[in-house]
Structure formats: C-alpha cells, structure tokens
Amino acid sequence: MIDHAHDLESVREATERLLSAVAGLDNASAAEPSRLPGWSRGHVLAHIARNADALVNVLEGRPMYADAQVRDADIERDAPRPLDAQLADVRESAARFQAAGAAPADWSRTVELRNGVVDAAARLPFRRWVEVELHHVDLGIGQELEDLPEEFTEREIEFLAERFEGHPEVPPTRVTDGTRAWHTGRKAEGPEVTVTGTPADLLGWLSGRRDGSGLTVDGGPLPALPPL
C-alpha cells in the first residue's frame, strides 16, 4: 500500500535539501547550463516550481496543465529570473503542494495527469518526490544519483521498470543490482536480457540520465529505452 503521508514528508525533506543547495548559487551560475540538454539551471528550477502547481491542479480536480504549449511557455518565461525569485517560487509552490496534500481527500481515487496518463491519487506525492530528487541531480550542483535515499532509488527503479513493462520495443529484460531484481519489456516466458549494475547506474539508465556504460549486460545488447 502506498503511504502518501510518508511520501509527502519525503518530498518536504527533499525540497529543503534542494533549496539549501540552490541557495549557494548566484545569478550567473543559476543561468548556466544544467545537465538537461537545452535547459539552464533556471529552466530546471522553473519546471520544479510549475510542476508543484500542476500537481496541485491534479489534486484539486483540475487539468494538470492547460496544454503543452502553456506548460513550455511558463517554463521559458520563468527561467531567466534572478536566483532569489527562483528560490521564493520553488519554496512557495512547494508549500502549496504540501497544503493540498494535507487536505482531507479520497487518496484511493484515480486522477489524470498529462497525455492521458492516469494513476492513484496516493501516488502523486511519490511522483513529486521523483521530480525534486532527479531534477536536483540535473542541476549539476553536487547531488549525484549515488546520493539519493536508498528507499527512493529502489522505488523509482521499480516504478520505471513497470513503466516499460509490456513495451513492444523493449525486449524481455531482467534488471538486477545483484540482490533485488525487476522485470521490464515485452512479455515472455523468461528474460532475453539481464542487466546488472549498482542501483545508481540502473536508475541512471532507466531514467535516461546515464548511457548504461557502467552496467553489465548478458543475453544481448543493452536495450534501447524509449523516452520517458
């Protein structure tokens, strides 16, 4: 069972870590490129803030975004702001998300996100946790995948493996860190490929943040994963 209250607290803690790290930047470094192609650190911070508000929309029964163009335009609009404005926006939007998460609600209900994706409302705090932790890494200011909480990394590997499960372009694949194992890709009697690595390297590959060069692959080449 998903513990949304636990995940809300994990989001709060992750947000505080991000804010503390970003506070060490200045306006010039906030405008520098992030690890995401085409995005500055300001773009990443703007996205983190706007994602919080988008998830508040979902929690309160509104569309996540008006449309893709509005989402992208909002990020472009907010990306060049001074660092103090970025910090205030991330902090204030995070507080709005926490307030929406604390409101009495039916957490078993189904909600709709972008592009017709549906999920249990109880999973939204975890989805927000993913945004904060992985985009903190994307900022390139000291946090690496190896630094993420063990619980988070294990759950996100499982979440991403489920996301690619049944995908016709991904061969039947066993993903393992040597202790735990997950299965993804097309349905089959057994896996065609086994991918082994550290939790950080597995997460990096599954999330598109590493090329998989640190992984060991048996039974064929490393599967090419579709974009998230």
What pLDDT, in 10s, does the model give residues 154-203?
999 999 999 999 999 999 999 999 999 999 999 988 789 999 999 999 99
pLDDT at residue number 194:
97
What pLDDT, in 10s, does the model give residues 16-55?
999 999 999 999 999 999 999 999 999 999 999 999 999 9
Mean local confidence (pLDDT), 76-103: 98
Higher-scoring residue by pLDDT: 6, 227: 6
Spatial separation of the C-alpha atoms in residues 208 and 222, rounded to whole Å = 13
Residue pair 111/58 in contact by the 8 Å Cβ criterion: yes
Mean local confidence (pLDDT), 201-222: 97
pLDDT at residue number 188:
87
Q: Confidence class of residue 209 from pLDDT cuts 50, 70 and 90?
A: very high
Q: How many CB atoms lie within 10 A of CB 26?
A: 9
228 pLDDT exceeds 90? no
Higher-scoring residue by pLDDT: 64, 190: 64
Mean local confidence (pLDDT), 119-139: 98
Predicted TM-score (pTM) of this structure? 0.96
Report percent pLDDT > 90 for the chain.
94
1 pLDDT exceeds 90? no
pLDDT at residue number 68:
87
Looking up tokens 């970003």 gives: 22
Across all residues in the chain, what is the average pLDDT? 97
pLDDT at residue number 190:
79
Mean local confidence (pLDDT), 137-163: 98
Mean local confidence (pLDDT), 86-102: 98
